[in-house]
């Protein structure tokens, strides 16, 4: 690790990563590598998480290629220095904001979207002109191997490198000084990353998770609402950081929505989701055991079937959930969907606000007034109205958390900015100096400066 980091520091110091042409060529090379390795990536995702080829492409490969295209089309504009006003006390001064690369960055990726969440921040790092070390999750072992092979095949190690291994590899990496650490994962490990980075005063982006609520009002389109909730919840077997974690459904439409949810799950995955090529698997026995324990809370009204040998838990709907239980207190991160009802929207908002601020919040309603009330009364990393998860696909919308769901933003321009130092520059005129700027000064000068400061 010492050798890789030192060679990356030397490569960055050479200035080769700074020109527009180098960054654009690197992004093009990355896009070509992804296309060339597509079959290997999809096969690895299927072995690790049971992802179908369509799901693997749509949620991992396709998103990365879109991000690369956005970066390539806009990179010249992003890199252009931005002119701003100078200091008001100095009339002919001029300001400039210049985005400069940070240096050598560390990207620690999770196992649930092991390709997408390794490559997406890497796109921002390359676009901003940095060198980078990527640490994939060892839990998604097959994808880790493909990532390592693909990057080693197309990039010099002194520019982009992949370091494999378990938690000890991450711990050793974090003992080194980086210019930025980008971590995606759970809150517990996020705290350890932040603590380690603090020892070297390294800036950190934390993309964590949390309990993303989904409010269903009585005036929504229940058919579309059910389909979009079922899709977002059970995608990747619920192992999505922004999956709807629990439903808050108006009492008047709860029973109707439950029936629509059942119909949608049947339409998506058939009478036996275990046989469906479109329904994924849990990543590990530890994940299976944790989720199986949660099944004991509340009343299962659909699903609940399990198979430890196959790392399978069926899409599951749960009612009569205790408000102080684990299902309402910890991030589920699996295919269990608790359904709670409300009569008064204010009570539902209070329920949400009593918990840590989530990464995403969903609201299904035709009423603009109700939508605005929910947005104003809650705090979350992002909000998606009348759909789930798809807000991630908009490169124009910076993605990230707030509070315990993390901090920092990426996607599109936000990713470029995250991996850049926004350097402020002031150019001062040599034509004259402001009168009374220099001592000696008196009360008359004080009055002058008070006037100029208005």
3-state secondary structure of 104: strand
| Nearest C-alpha neighbor of 265 from the set 234, 299, 308, 305 | 234
CA dihedral angle for residue 299, residue 265, residue 250, residue 401, rounded to 10 degrees: 100
CA angle in degrees (0–180, nearest 5) for 441-443-444: 85
Residues assigned a catalytic role: 207, 241
Topology at the third CATH level for domain 213-393 = Aldehyde Dehydrogenase; Chain A, domain 2 (3.40.309)
Query: What is the 3-state composition of the chain as percent helix, strand, coil, each rounded to the nearest 5?
Result: 45, 20, 35
Q: Would you call the peptide bond into 390 cis, given omega within 30 degrees of 0 as the criterion?
A: no
Q: What does pTM read for this prediction?
A: 0.95
Whole-angstrom distance, CA of residue 314 vs CA of residue 234: 9
The residue extents of the domains of the chain are 2-208+403-423, 213-393
Give the sign of the dihedral formed by CA 316, CA 319, CA 322, CA 328: positive
CATH classification (class only), 2-208+403-423 = alpha beta
- Tens place of pLDDT per residue across the chain (454 aa): 889 999 999 999 999 999 999 999 999 999 999 999 999 999 999 999 999 999 999 999 999 999 999 999 999 999 999 999 998 888 899 999 999 999 999 999 999 999 999 999 999 999 999 999 999 999 999 999 999 999 999 999 999 999 999 999 999 999 999 999 999 999 999 999 999 999 999 999 999 998 999 999 999 899 999 999 999 999 999 999 999 999 999 999 999 999 999 999 999 999 999 999 999 999 999 999 999 999 989 999 999 999 999 999 999 999 999 888 899 999 999 999 999 999 999 999 999 999 999 999 999 999 999 999 999 999 999 999 999 999 999 999 999 999 999 999 999 999 999 999 999 999 999 999 887 888 998 898 888 888 877 7
CA dihedral angle for residue 448, residue 450, residue 451, residue 454, rounded to 10 degrees: 150
């Amino acid at each position: 690790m010492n050798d890789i980091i030192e060679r990356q520091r030397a490569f960055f110091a050479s200035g080769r990563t700074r020109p527009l042409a180098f960054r654009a060529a690197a992004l093009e090379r990355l896009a070509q590598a992804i296309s060339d390795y597509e079959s290997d990536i999809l096969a690895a995702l299927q072995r690790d998480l049971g992802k179908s080829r369509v799901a693997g492409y749509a949620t991992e490969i396709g998103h990365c290629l879109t991000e690369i295209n956005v970066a390539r089309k806009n990179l010249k504009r992003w890199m252009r220095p931005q002119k701003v006003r100078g200091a008001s006390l100095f009339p002919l001064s001029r300001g400039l904001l210049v985005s400069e690369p940070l240096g050598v960055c560390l990207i620690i990726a999770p196992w649930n979207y092991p390709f997408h969440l390794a490559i997406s921040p890497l796109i921002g790092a390359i676009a901003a002109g940095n060198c980078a070390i990527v640490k994939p999750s060892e839990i998604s072992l097959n994808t880790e191997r493909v990532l390592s092979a693909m990057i080693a095949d197309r990039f010099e190690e002194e520019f982009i490198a992949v370091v494999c291994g378990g938690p000890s590899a991450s711990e050793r990496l974090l003992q080194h000084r980086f210019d930025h650490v980008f971590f995606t994962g759970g809150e517990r490990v996020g705290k350890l990353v932040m603590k380690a980075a603090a020892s070297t005063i390294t800036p950190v982006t934390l993309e964590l998770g949390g309990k993303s609520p989904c409010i269903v009002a009585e005036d929504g389109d229940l058919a579309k609402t059910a389909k979009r909730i079922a899709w977002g919840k059970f995608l990747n077997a619920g192992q999505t950081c922004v999956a709807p974690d629990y439903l808050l459904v108006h009492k008047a439409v709860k029973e109707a929505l439950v029936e629509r949810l059942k119909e949608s799950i049947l339409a998506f995955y058939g009478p036996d989701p275990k046989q469906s090529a479109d329904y994924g698997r849990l990543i590990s026995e530890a994940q299976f055991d944790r989720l199986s324990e949660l099944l004991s809370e509340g009343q299962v009204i659909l699903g609940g079937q399990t198979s430890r040998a196959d790392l399978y838990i069926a899409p599951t709907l749960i009612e009569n959930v205790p408000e102080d239980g684990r299902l309402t207190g910890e991030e589920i991160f699996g295919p269990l969907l608790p359904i709670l009802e409300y009569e008064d929207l204010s009570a539902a908002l209070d329920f949400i606000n009593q918990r840590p601020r989530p990464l995403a919040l969903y609201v299904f309603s035709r009423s603009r007034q109700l939508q605005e009330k929910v947005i104003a009364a809650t705090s979350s990393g992002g909000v998606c109205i009348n759909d789930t998860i798809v807000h991630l696909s908009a490169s124009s919308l910076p993605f990230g958390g707030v509070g315990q769901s993390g901090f920092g933003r990426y996607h599109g321009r936000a990713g470029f900015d995250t991996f850049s130092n926004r350097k402020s520059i002031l150019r001062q005129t040599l034509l004259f100096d402001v009168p009374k700027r220099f001592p000696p000064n008196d009360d008359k000068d004080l009055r002058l400066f008070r006037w100029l400061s208005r």
